[in-house]
Amino acid sequence: MFLKQLEYLIAVIEEDHFGRAATRCNVKQPSLSNGIKQLELELGVTLFKRGRGQRLYGVTEEGKRVSEWARIILANCTSMRNTISEMQNNLSGTIRLGAITSMSPVLPIILQRIRRAYPLVSVDVRFVGNEELRTGLDNFSIDCGITYMDQAVEMPWCESLPIFEETWSLLVPDSFEFEEMEQITWEQAGDLPLALLRPTMYERAIAEETFLGAGKKVIPKIESESILHLMFQTQFTELCTVIPSHYTRMPGLHPGTKALLLKDPIIKKGIGLFWLKTETEIPITKIAEEVGRYLAENGELQNFLYRDTDKK
């Protein structure tokens, strides 16, 4: 059994196609297919369901179980190599970072810290939902993740570290109607024409729950999975939208818009870094943990993102 065969297995499962998996692994398809067949022969099981012409129709139960072990073996092998590199003061490799989409403007600060401390390390950023983030951490396809701290209940097998606290604002057109306002209640916001995130998104569920608590059942005019798109809706139309307040600083407000702090209640949600609990320290994960701990302990990220908002 060779590590390459395990890499082929994972690639075929994730790409759901032998040709794409071969391209991803930088080999010709016959070489990849032969590697999979040799792995099946050695293990004495069929890993994939095949039809006519060897067309792929899914993964067998044995294939699913083998893939779980394959991910563990490959992750441990990568950690071993990284440990040796770290001992030689030459740590390199790639951190696979999963993050919820609202973290997009914040990540440049975090990633710059990583680059400065470990210039040979690169970061592969993947924007995912909470469910995909949990799955990725569990199957070793993601090294660490950034999401809301209340997700720790759903991930007891992970370590977590709070790095800053998020509040929410209402983005409105910069018009005479809002000229004298700096804050707005959820009840008042519920009477305005709204563009909101899709119902499947975690932030939308929190917003709807808060609106209901204020006695408002909202029906948005526009729904999207992109906060930036919703901000454009406010910039160019009459619609208002709920945004994390740090969007007023990063990426910054678009011309013709204004942010009002949402109150009664003021929503405060902890954002944290998550990584797997392991008996052996994983160098790549330790990098993100070190940077996260630094940002949390000195309050640098919180102060940069919310130094104006926190005063309100």
**312 residues of the chain, pLDDT tens digit each:** 678 888 888 899 888 888 899 999 999 988 888 898 888 888 888 898 876 655 677 888 888 888 888 887 777 676 666 565 554 466 677 889 999 989 999 999 889 988 888 888 889 999 998 999 998 888 888 989 999 999 999 999 898 999 999 999 999 999 999 999 999 999 999 999 999 999 989 999 999 999 999 999 999 999 999 999 999 999 999 999 999 999 999 889 999 999 999 999 999 999 999 988 877 667 777 888 888 888 888 888 898 888 765 555
> Could you give the 3-state DSSP secondary structure of residue 32?
helix
* Fold (topology level) of 166-268: D-Maltodextrin-Binding Protein; domain 2 (3.40.190)
Say if pTM beats, i.e. exceeds, 0.85.
no
Residue found under tokens 């870094």? 273
pLDDT, residue 87, reads 46
d(CA 74, CA 85): 17
Query: What residue spans define the domains of the chain?
Result: 3-70, 83-164+270-311, 166-268
Q: Strand pairing of 194-197 and 222-224?
A: parallel
Looking at residue 53, its pLDDT comes to 54
Tell me the CB-side half-sphere exposure of residue 263, using CA atoms within 13 A: 10
| Architecture of the structural domain at 3-70 | Orthogonal Bundle (1.10)
d(Cα 80, Cα 31) in Å, to the nearest integer?
Answer: 27
* CA neighbor of 174 nearest in space, from 228, 100, 254, 244: 254
CATH 3.90.230.10 fits 83-164+270-311, yes or no: no
Q: How many CB atoms are closer than 10 A to CB 119? A: 10
Domains 83-164+270-311 and 166-268 share a fold: yes
Report residue 14 CA to chain centroid gap.
18
